[in-house]
Amino acid sequence: MPIENFEERIDAVRHFNRFFTRQIGVLREGLLHSPYSLTEGRILFELAHRENSTASDLGRALGLDAGYLSRTLARFEQQGLLEKVRAEHDGRQRLLRLTPDGKNASSLLDRRSREEVAEMLNDLCEEEQLRLLKAMHTIENIIDKGFKFSEPFFLRPHEPGDMGWVTHRHGVLYAQEYGWDERFEALVARIVADFINNHKPERERCWIAEINGEIVGSVFVVRDSDTVAKLRLLLVEPKARGMGLGSRLVRECIRFAKRTGYKKLTLWTNSILEDARRIYQKSGFTLVDQEAHHSFGHDLVGQNWELLL
């Protein structure tokens, strides 16, 4: 496929996105002539159709940043649209429920949405309506099969408590699988502490992977210099291996590093970590040097890999 042809296809998809969002009105300041944005409307819709949902459940369902969702929920609570109820089975959990005012707001959005769609369809003849529905069904099927959102795992930014999980699971898994001692856990603890204490959100990122609300993996990109970033602490739980999670985490690191303007992405690993090395090699990294060392109670061969972006 010639690159210019592919670029034209990208432009065509973006043009359709702009056209369709303009037609359904999501770019207006107030969705459906309401005081709510598109994302706020989605949150209200999900809460109206879910029972006993937590903030984590909602974030996973909508793919929203945890900080943004938390601020939006707090604002809804202040406006009297939402209440948080202690879960009967776990007193630490807070369940989200719409108040009567919240249900009224959601019902109003739902009614106005149906009215706008009905108005749009009424402008079309029967044949045009059927063609439109068929085309929409085709688009939905193709995108649902091919896009990353169909994967069984969910990636999110780090939250309070995640660094403890990263340190703990590295310590446990590397002891179980390679016999490394607690000095490796101490190294991981220093890395995550440095990440939190010196975090530069515009240049550094952590991804946490979940399946059905359970953390199953993690990876970090940290700044080494203005032009060089490091990939660190790639981890995939045994139960989540074999489904492409490790490769997906590495791809996210590469995308972020390119988007942020880095020229090179580097990483340090050990030759004994064969599964990870295969992922790095498949992702385009090349081995630049290696050196024997004694660490974590074992004789190892450390390796430096890099990817030019």
**Per-residue pLDDT tens over the stretch 99-145:** 999 999 999 888 887 887 888 888 889 999 888 888 887 887 776 65
- Cβ contact 166:192 at 8 Å: yes
Give the class (CATH, top level) of 154-308.
alpha beta
Q: Residue 206 has what pLDDT? A: 95
DSSP string, 162-176: HHHHHHHHHHHHHHH
CB atoms within 10 A of CB 192: 22
CB atoms within 10 A of CB 40: 19
* Bridge partners (DSSP) listed for residue 289: 304
Residue that wins the pLDDT comparison between 119 and 217: 217
The answer on pLDDT for 149 being more than 50 is no
CA 208, CA 110: separation in Å to the nearest integer?
A: 33
What does the domain layout of the chain look like in residue ranges? 3-144, 154-308
- Give the end-to-end CA distance of the chain in Å, rounded to a whole number: 22
CATH value of 3-144 in 1.10.645.10, 1.10.10.60, 3.40.50.300, 1.10.10.10 = 1.10.10.10
**Per-residue pLDDT tens over the stretch 28-65:** 444 556 677 777 888 898 899 877 788 888 887 777 76
Domains 3-144 and 154-308 share a fold: no
**Per-residue pLDDT tens over the stretch 250-269:** 999 999 999 999 999 999 99
Q: Where are the alpha helices (DSSP H) in the chain?
A: 3-24, 38-48, 55-62, 66-78, 100-122, 126-146, 162-178, 182-197, 245-260, 274-282
Q: Residue 26 has what pLDDT? A: 47
Q: Residue 73 has what pLDDT? A: 92
For residue 268, what are its two tokens? 């340090």
Give the chain's radius of gyration (CA, Å). 24
What is the average pLDDT across 208-222? 90
CA 275, CA 241: separation in Å to the nearest integer?
A: 10
- Cβ contact 272:178 at 8 Å: yes
CA 96, CA 77: separation in Å to the nearest integer?
A: 10
The answer on pLDDT for 217 being more than 90 is yes
CA 249, CA 155: separation in Å to the nearest integer?
A: 8
Nearest residue to 34 via CA among 84, 104, 82? 104
In degrees and rounded to multiples of 5, residue 175 shows phi and psi of: -70, -45
